[in-house]
């Protein structure tokens, strides 16, 4: 880590103290300003306008960047999220800020009714949350946050405090969400996978009767460009699925939508490896967790690898017989397992080929990897998750490239990420061809992940991207 180029924190207060760096500081300073502006005192909002509460996977990515500014704030970010965990182990996708007006975001707390409809599943009483989840990046984030300042972490008992909650979270996913019976976790709503409007959901959503448009009022259209956002028809279906889940008191298993997704499960595997490292730091061996992560990797390949497409696909569990069927759409989600060191070599080679080929164009026709197939019928360079490039998925791919020894490609992706973060004022997402900024500006994870990349050294130092670090160590045989 470049000590001269950081904001440091007074550990007792979590306030940021600026220590002026001599170098390409302006991006660093600007990113730090975004995180400062989005900080609420206990967590960070993705965007003050569009997303004014705490989001689950956003917080994990934000903590990964925030650790370079204030390890204490980064720890607090994760602790705040985890304190809203339900007794059944789920980490809700939104933790609502009670001081934000109800109509600032839809669906609001009065839609989810966590404290009543979620009582059986063990929703917390003191805070309002949604009832669905998001991808499990949290154990990975916790490990990276700890590594930024192990002294502070040990002094505060950070890992000892979060470990049981993270373990319960993984248990929930591995037991209650193994809806296909093949060992992988399923998502029960497109919002759970994080790429809400992906064409992968078109077929499974087509079976869902939309909630009538007059039964709810969207808040997203007040802030985002309507032509870039999901359609009203899709929104009606999102609302129907969430309403039905709520009305089943958030019991798992009976919903109309159940999909096994490659990125969700790859992140679970990476987090399971991280949890093994946390266990070891706390004095256990971590061996069982590493072994579980390997079994999950095998299940991921068995159930979601599609040699014909040269990538992983989603499995729609409600299509056809009990095994379900692969969804024939290419999403960036299907490239993200690249971050796993335990993938068979031939699969890695094919995935690299696909990432650079005509469907995603990385290092060739696109600035950053698009969220969806450039050649797909549904491709739209501006519409939410149907083509634009996102920073979090590209950050994950950058780590994946390093894990598999593709340093030059990773360096060039890192450069593009930093350049586009600067040029777009930390946009939520961008046109993959032109780099035009889309969605909210001053977006939390864009600033955080740019900071994380700024703290890495291209070509030789993989320590700041972190995913690569511990996975590389695994490769070296340092198993717990
Ligand atoms: C629904 C907050 C979230 C991200 C998701 C992104 C978007 C919400 C929405 O914003 O989802 O959760 O209203 O569209 O798709 O990945 O976590 O930034």
117-163: pLDDT as tens digits? 999 999 999 999 999 999 999 999 999 999 999 999 999 999 999 99
pLDDT tens sequence across 154-209: 999 999 999 999 999 999 999 999 999 999 999 999 999 999 999 999 999 999 99
Nearest atom of ligand 1 to the alpha carbon of 196: 15
pLDDT of res. 229: 85
Average pLDDT, the chain: 90
301-306 long-range contacts, CB within 8 A, separation 24+:
301/343, 301/344, 301/347, 302/182, 303/180, 303/182, 303/183, 303/184, 303/260, 304/184, 304/260, 304/262, 304/265, 304/334, 305/347
pLDDT of res. 382: 96
- Tell me what the mean pLDDT of segment 91-112 comes to: 96
Ligand 1 center to 131 CA (angstroms): 14
Which of residues 457 and 390 earns the better pLDDT score? 390
For ligand 1, atom 4: residue with the closest CA: 194
Best residue for ligand 1 mutational test, from 46, 55, 91 (most atoms within 8 Å of Cβ): 55
pLDDT at 465 over 50: no
Q: How far is the CA of 155 from the centre of ligand 1 (A)?
A: 34
- So what's the pLDDT on residue 25? 58
Reported as a pLDDT band with limits 50, 70 and 90, residue 17 is very low
- Name the percent of the chain lying above pLDDT 90: 84
2, 196, 202, 222: which is the annotated catalytic residue?
196
Name which of 100, 70, 95 is nearest 84 in CA terms: 95
**According to the model, what pLDDT value does residue 381 have?**
97
CA distance 372 to 332: 6
CA dist 38 and 52 (Å) reads 9
Would the pLDDT of 286 be above 90?
A: no
pLDDT of residue 219: 86
Can you tell me whether residue 56 is helix, strand or coil?
helix
Query: How many other C-beta atoms are found inside a 10 Å radius of the C-beta of residue 240?
Result: 19
> How far is Cα 313 from Cα 310, in angstroms, rounded to an integer?
9
Q: Using one digit for the tens of pLDDT, what is the confidence trace for 227-271?
A: 888 888 999 999 999 999 999 999 999 899 999 999 999 999 999
**196 included as an active-site residue:** yes
pLDDT score, position 341: 93
pLDDT over 60 (residue 20):
no
Q: What separation in Å is there between the alpha carbon of 420 and the centre of ligand 1?
A: 20
pTM for the complete prediction?
0.92
| 297/301 Cα distance (integer angstroms) | 6
462 three-class SS: coil
pLDDT value for 457: 62
pLDDT value of position 113? 98
pLDDT of amino acid 86: 98
Taking 50 as the threshold, does the pLDDT of residue 45 lie above it? yes
- Supply the pLDDT for residue 179: 97
Pocket residues for ligand 1 (CB within 6 Å)?
Answer: 46, 51, 55, 57-58, 93, 191, 194, 196, 220
**The most confident of 3-12, 221-230, 413-422, by mean pLDDT:** 413-422
Residue 24 confidence (pLDDT): 54
Nearest CA to ligand 1 atom 5: 194
Q: Using the predicted structure, report yes or no on whether residue 9 has a pLDDT greater than 70.
A: no
For the ranges 13-22, 315-324, 423-432, which has the lowest average pLDDT? 13-22
Are residues 47 and 28 in contact, defined by beta-carbon separation less than 8 angstroms? no
Query: How much is the average pLDDT of 334-357?
Result: 97
Q: Which of 268, 360, 368 is nearest to 311 (CA)?
A: 360
Catalytic choice (428, 431, 452, 474) = 428
192 is catalytic: no
Distance 350 CA to ligand 1 centre (A): 30
- Could you identify the atom of ligand 1 that is nearest to the CA of residue 384? 15
Q: How much is the average pLDDT of 269-287?
A: 96
Answer yes or no: is pLDDT of 477 > 80. no
Q: What mean pLDDT is predicted for residues 335-345?
A: 97
Mutate to test the pocket of ligand 1, among 189, 194, 201 (most ligand atoms within 8 A of CB): 194
| pLDDT given for residue 462 in this prediction | 37
Top-confidence residue, 413 or 15: 413
Distance 47 CA to ligand 1 centre (A): 10
């Amino acid at each position: 880590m470049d000590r001269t180029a950081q904001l440091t924190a007074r550990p007792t207060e979590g306030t940021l103290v600026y220590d002026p760096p001599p170098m390409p500081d302006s991006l660093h300073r600007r990113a730090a300003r975004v995180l400062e502006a989005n900080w609420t005192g206990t967590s960070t909002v993705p965007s003050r306008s569009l997303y004014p509460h705490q989001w689950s996977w956003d917080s994990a990515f934000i903590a990964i960047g925030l650790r370079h500014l204030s390890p204490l704030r980064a720890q607090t970010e994760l602790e705040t999220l985890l304190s809203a965990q339900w007794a059944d182990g789920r980490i809700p996708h939104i933790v609502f800020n009670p001081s934000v007006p109800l109509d600032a975001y839809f669906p609001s707390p009065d839609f989810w009714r966590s404290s009543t409809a979620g009582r059986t599943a063990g929703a917390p009483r003191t805070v309002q949350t949604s009832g669905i989840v998001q991808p499990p990046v949290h154990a990975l984030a916790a490990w990276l946050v700890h590594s930024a300042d192990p002294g502070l972490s040990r002094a505060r008992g950070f890992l000892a405090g979060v470990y049981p909650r993270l373990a319960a979270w993984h248990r929930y996913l591995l037991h209650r969400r193994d809806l296909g019976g093949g060992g992988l976790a399923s998502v029960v709503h497109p919002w759970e996978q994080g790429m809400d409007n992906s064409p992968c959901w078109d077929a499974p959503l087509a079976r869902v009767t939309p909630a009538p448009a007059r039964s709810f009022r969207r808040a997203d259209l007040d802030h985002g460009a309507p032509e870039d956002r999901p359609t009203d028809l899709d929104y009606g279906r999102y609302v129907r699925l969430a309403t039905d889940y709520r009305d089943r008191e958030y019991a798992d298993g009976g919903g109309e939508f159940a999909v096994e997704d490659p990125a969700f499960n790859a992140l679970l595997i990476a987090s399971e490896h991280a949890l093994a490292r946390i266990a070891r730091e706390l004095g256990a061996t971590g061996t069982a967790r590493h072994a579980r992560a390997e079994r999950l990797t095998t299940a991921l390949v068995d159930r979601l690898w599609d040699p014909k497409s040269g990538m992983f696909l989603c499995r729609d569990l409600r299509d056809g017989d009990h095994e379900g069927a692969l969804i024939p759409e290419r999403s960036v989600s299907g490239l993200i397992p690249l971050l796993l060191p335990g993938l068979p070599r031939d699969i890695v080679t094919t995935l690299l080929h696909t990432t650079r080929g005509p469907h995603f164009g990385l290092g060739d026709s696109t600035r950053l990897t698009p969220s969806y197939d450039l050649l797909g019928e549904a491709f739209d360079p501006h519409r939410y998750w149907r083509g634009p490039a996102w920073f979090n998925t590209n950050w994950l791919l950058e780590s994946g490239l390093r894990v598999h020894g593709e340093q030059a490609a990773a360096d060039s992706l890192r450069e593009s990420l930093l350049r586009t973060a600067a040029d777009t004022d930390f946009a939520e997402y961008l046109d993959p061809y032109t780099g035009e900024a889309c969605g909210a500006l001053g977006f939390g994870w864009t600033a955080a992940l740019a900071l994380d990349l700024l703290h890495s050294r291209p070509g030789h130092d993989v320590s700041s991207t972190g995913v690569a670090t511990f996975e590389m160590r695994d490769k070296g045989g340092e198993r717990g």
